[in-house]
Every structure is written in C-alpha cells, then in structure tokens.
Amino acid sequence: MSTAGSPDFLGGVAELGIAGRPIPGELDSGDMHVAASYEGGLLCAVIDGLGHGAEAAMAARLAASLLSDSPGQPVRQLVEQCHAALRSTRGAVMTLAAIDAANDRLTWTGIGNVEAVLWRADPEAVPAREAIVSRAGVVGYQLPALREVTLTIANGDVLAMATDGIDHDFILESPLHMSAQDYANSVLDRYGEESDDALVLVARFQGRSP
C-alpha cells in the first residue's frame, strides 16, 4: 500500500509529491519524510530507520519530529540534534535538503544510503542532474564528519530523494515532464523493491528565477 496525495504547493516554494509503503507484511514503515516550510525556505528530508517494523518506525518518527520542529536551522545542526536524540534507538540514515527560496539555493547533506538527485529544468544545463555524495554512518550511532554542499537552483528544477527500498536506477528517469506526485508514484511503482520499506519525496522548485 502506498501513501500518496494530490499535488501540494508548500509555502509557495515547491510542488511536492510523496509516495511510500512499508515492506510487505508490516503495518509500520521505517521510512519517513519531512517537508516543512519556514520563513524564506523549505526543509525536505527523507529518513530511513535501520531495519523495518515498529522499532525502525520509532527511530524515523523521532527524527522527523525534531526536524519538523526546527526546519529553519542549518542542516548540519539538525543532523547533530537528531544524532543526540536517536542514541537510545536503533538509529537511522537520512538526507536533508534546505531550499533557500530567497536566494535560489539548496544546501544538502546525507548520512547513509538515502539518495538525492537534483534535475535541472534548463535543457542546456551541464550537468543535467547532480547527485548527493553521502557520508557513511548511522545517525544515533556513528556520525561521520558532515559534508554540506550548496547548489544554485532555478524555477522548475526538481529534487528527488529516495530510501534504499528504491532501486538506484530511479535517478536515470527524468521528472521534468511529470507532476511531482505522478513522478513519485511512478518511481515507487517501477523501482520499489519488495525486500524493504520504500519512500520517495519529490519537490519541484517554484522560485523567483525566470
């Protein structure tokens, strides 16, 4: 069973699409997302509690709650707060992306195997897409030196984030000619694996750039 909704324009910053499901046989998914607006921006995050089932869901839910409470803080600080809070859980991997709508910038960081890719709406952009380089580690257990990268973004650029329940090849499928929700649904249907929880978050930037 997937979780999906109608297109949502959050905070006037991005069109959102979300699709996800637990591993067959489980009611709770350890894969969760955050899409929280703040003054001048939007925080997008995808969290994967280690393993699956209720304990994985508990870890992911705790991290999601912390991120939702303070979305405007720097991504490094948010990860460090999650690391401290998740020490009593089995831990999680996650990728965070903060969209600064006022300055047309995106800052992201990743710990573990939550993939993220930014597709450029400009057909002449080189490269056409940029993928995050995550650091190995587990939030709540072993936190690596964090690496933040800031990219410029333009109106129509699309951010796609997915847990490891989605096959890596999803990054080869362009979202530029689909709505955010249709793309999220397509990725879950075509690339979702039955051996794990799965979740996709898609955000199409609706910024001030021409």
DSSP string, 42-107: EEEEEEEESSSSHHHHHHHHHHHHHHHH-TTS-HHHHHHHHHHHGGGSS-EEEEEEEEETTTTEEE
pLDDT of residue 7: 40
pLDDT of residue 92: 96
Please check whether residue 29 is in contact with residue 22, taking contact to mean a CB–CB distance below 8 angstroms: yes
Q: Is 160 helix (H, G, I), strand (E, B) or coil?
A: strand
pLDDT of residue 4: 39
pLDDT of residue 95: 97
Q: Which residues of the chain have pLDDT under 50?
A: 1-7, 209-210
pLDDT of residue 180: 96
pLDDT of residue 10: 59
Chain CA centroid to CA 158, Å = 12
Classify domain 3-205 by CATH number.
3.60.40.10
Report the distance separating Cα 194 and Cα 97, nearest Å: 27
pTM: 0.91
pLDDT of residue 97: 97
pLDDT of residue 27: 87
57: Cα within 13 Å, side-chain hemisphere? 10
Based on C-alpha coordinates, what's the Rg of the chain?
Answer: 16
Residue with tokens 């089932």: 53
